[in-house]
């Protein structure tokens, strides 16, 4: 992949341009043999995205590198212009910040899922049937009331959406090099939380004891009778997004994980609930107060992970309805893309590049008729690494000066 200029600060220009990064999570797909070998974008009726594509430049973007399947963290690290191969941020930290937990430098955070396991101890549903958030709150309260401390380490739990919650360990002598217990697919038993270095031995012991106690407390639950943990991590030290790019930045997201990554990078991030329509309404209200807007839409990724082609098509069509409202704000730059691809054919994140649309008076346009993966493959932007996207956004927002003499 081509090198990307890491430090743009010497090129910054002051300006009043408004830039929007609109991320439909897991947007990209691959042709599905059961649906006329179309992708979800190709099967969807998207008149607004397609009209916009005819006035924009398109391309395909690799979140990390060729053939690499990214998690949501690395996907967004690249979108924000940082190198996901160098900056490693654990999922646990992002989830903890997303639900509003304050983290100390020595805390260890993990993302937790309630799951369903059978009598043989095998996981038969990694998401416990996506139990309602109210059930998650009840179960987290049950665990918190009965497991407060182990070996002098505080156990802090907070519910998220549906089957998700967050665990934070707070105490002395904790490392974060722990093997995930989530096997990542059904039909397997959870892995043991093994320490991957000497500094994490105490962490491993505490987690094992927590899981044993939790298993007893959840033994009578029909769906949420197991816990899977992943993304053990401590908070990193990094340069904040507003300072890195010289912009007033706002992040608008519903799901905790995406609020978390935005907060970690220094975005103003409101506590917003509801639907994507609520996000667009917030964007409209906050339009005069910021330069850069990151807006996140989750449902495309959920449908892809569930292997539900038709549902992902419906989510894309719903997303399409809001494009005119965003354009009415007259952004100087509007980018529409995903943080990674989640083809319903695979039912998971994948290594396939994300389709990219860049609309700006200064960008020009392609010969595209639609916003699809195949049309993006022919686009002016070509194939490029995600970490180059921010320099393209800033350039089209006339926020970068000339490089060199």
List the beta bridge partners of residue 32.
Answer: 38
Two structure tokens written together for 160? 């998220």
How many of the other CB atoms lie within 10 Å of CB of 89? Answer: 24
pLDDT of residue 6: 66
Nearest alpha-carbon partner for 309 in 2, 95, 31: 31
CA–CA dist 262, 268 (Å, integer): 8
Tokens of 119: 């009598």
**Burial track 45-73 (b if 16+ CB lie within 10 A, e otherwise):** ebebbbbbbebbbbbbbbbbeeeebbbbb
**Residues paired with 71 in a beta bridge:** none
Helix-strand-coil split of the chain, %, nearest 5: 35, 20, 45
pLDDT score at 15: 87
pLDDT for the residue 389: 96
Question: How far are the Cα atoms of 88, 162, 252, 401 from residue 359, in angstroms, in the given order?
Answer: 31, 35, 20, 20
> CA separation (Å) from 75 to 28, 94, 149, 208?
13, 13, 34, 30
Tokens representing 128 are: 């416990």
CA 196 vs CA 70, 231, 237, 260: distances in Å: 22, 13, 22, 26
Residue closest to 167 by CA, chosen among 76, 103, 258, 217: 103
Query: DSSP 3-state assignment of 150?
Result: strand
**Tokens representing residue 168 in the block:** 């934070």
CB of 166 closer than 8 Å to CB of 158: yes
Which one-letter DSSP state was computed for residue 98?
H
Copy the structure tokens of residue 205. Answer: 């012991």
For every one of its 405 residues, what pLDDT tens digit does the chain have, with 9 covering 90 and above?
556 666 677 788 888 999 999 999 999 999 999 999 999 999 999 999 999 999 999 999 999 999 999 988 899 999 999 999 888 888 888 888 878 888 888 999 999 999 999 989 899 999 988 999 999 999 999 999 999 999 999 999 999 888 999 999 999 999 999 999 999 889 999 999 999 999 999 999 999 999 999 999 999 998 999 999 999 999 888 889 999 999 999 999 998 889 888 988 999 999 899 999 999 999 999 999 999 999 999 999 999 999 999 999 999 999 999 999 999 999 999 999 999 999 999 999 999 999 999 999 999 999 999 999 999 999 999 999 999 999 999 999 999 988 886
Write down the pLDDT at residue 72: 86
Q: At 36, is the secondary structure helix, strand, or coil?
A: coil
Alpha helices (H) along 287-388 = 299-305, 309-320, 323-328, 373-377
State the Cα–Cα distance between residues 241 and 252, nearest whole angstrom.
Answer: 15
Structural domains in the chain plus CATH codes: 9-87+239-396 (3.40.720.10), 94-233 (3.30.70)
Q: What is the pLDDT of residue 173?
A: 94
Residue 331's nearest CA partner among 354, 358, 355, 356 is: 358
């Amino acid at each position: 992949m081509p090198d990307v200029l890491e430090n743009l600060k010497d090129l910054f220009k002051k300006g009043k341009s408004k830039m929007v990064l609109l991320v439909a999570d897991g947007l990209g797909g691959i042709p599905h043999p059961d649906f006329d070998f179309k992708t979800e974008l190709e099967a969807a009726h998207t008149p607004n995205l397609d009209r916009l594509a005819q006035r924009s430049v398109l391309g395909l973007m690799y979140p990390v590198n060729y053939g690499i399947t990214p998690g949501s963290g690395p996907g967004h690290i690249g979108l924000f212009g940082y190198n996901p191969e160098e900056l490693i941020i654990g999922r646990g930290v992002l989830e903890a910040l997303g639900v509003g937990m304050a983290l100390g430098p020595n805390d260890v955070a993990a993302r937790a899922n309630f799951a369903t396991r059978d009598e043989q101890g095998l996981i038969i549903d990694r998401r416990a049937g996506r139990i309602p958030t109210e059930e998650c709150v009840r179960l987290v309260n049950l665990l918190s009331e009965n497991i407060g401390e182990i070996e002098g380490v505080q156990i802090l739990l907070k519910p998220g959406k549906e089957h998700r919650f967050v665990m934070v360990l707070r105490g002395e002598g904790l490392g974060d090099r722990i093997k995930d217990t989530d096997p990542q697919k059904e039909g397997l038993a959870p892995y043991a939380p093994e320490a991957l270095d000497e500094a994490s031995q105490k962490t491993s012991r505490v987690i094992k004891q927590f899981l044993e106690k939790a298993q007893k407390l959840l033994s009578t639950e029909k769906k949420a009778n197991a816990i899977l943990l992943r993304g053990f991590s401590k908070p990193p030290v990094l340069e904040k997004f507003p300072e890195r790019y010289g912009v007033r930045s706002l992040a608008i997201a519903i799901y905790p994980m995406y609020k978390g990554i935005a907060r970690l990078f220094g975005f103003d991030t409101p506590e917003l609930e509801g639907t994507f329509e609520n996000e667009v309404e917030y964007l409209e209200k906050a339009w005069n107060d910021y330069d850069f807007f990151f807006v996140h839409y989750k449902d495309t990724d959920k449908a892809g992970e569930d292997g539900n082609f038709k549902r992902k098509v419906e989510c894309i069509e719903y997303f399409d309805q809001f494009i005119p409202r965003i354009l009415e704000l007259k952004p100087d730059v509007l980018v529409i893309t995903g943080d990674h691809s989640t083809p319903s054919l695979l039912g998971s994140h994948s290594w396939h590049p994300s389709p990219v649309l860049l609309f700006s008076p200064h960008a020009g346009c392609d010969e595209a008729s639609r916003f699809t993966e195949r049309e993006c493959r022919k686009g002016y932007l070509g194939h490029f690494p995600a970490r180059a996207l921010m320099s393209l956004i800033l350039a089209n927002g006339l926020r970068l000066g000339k490089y060199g003499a």
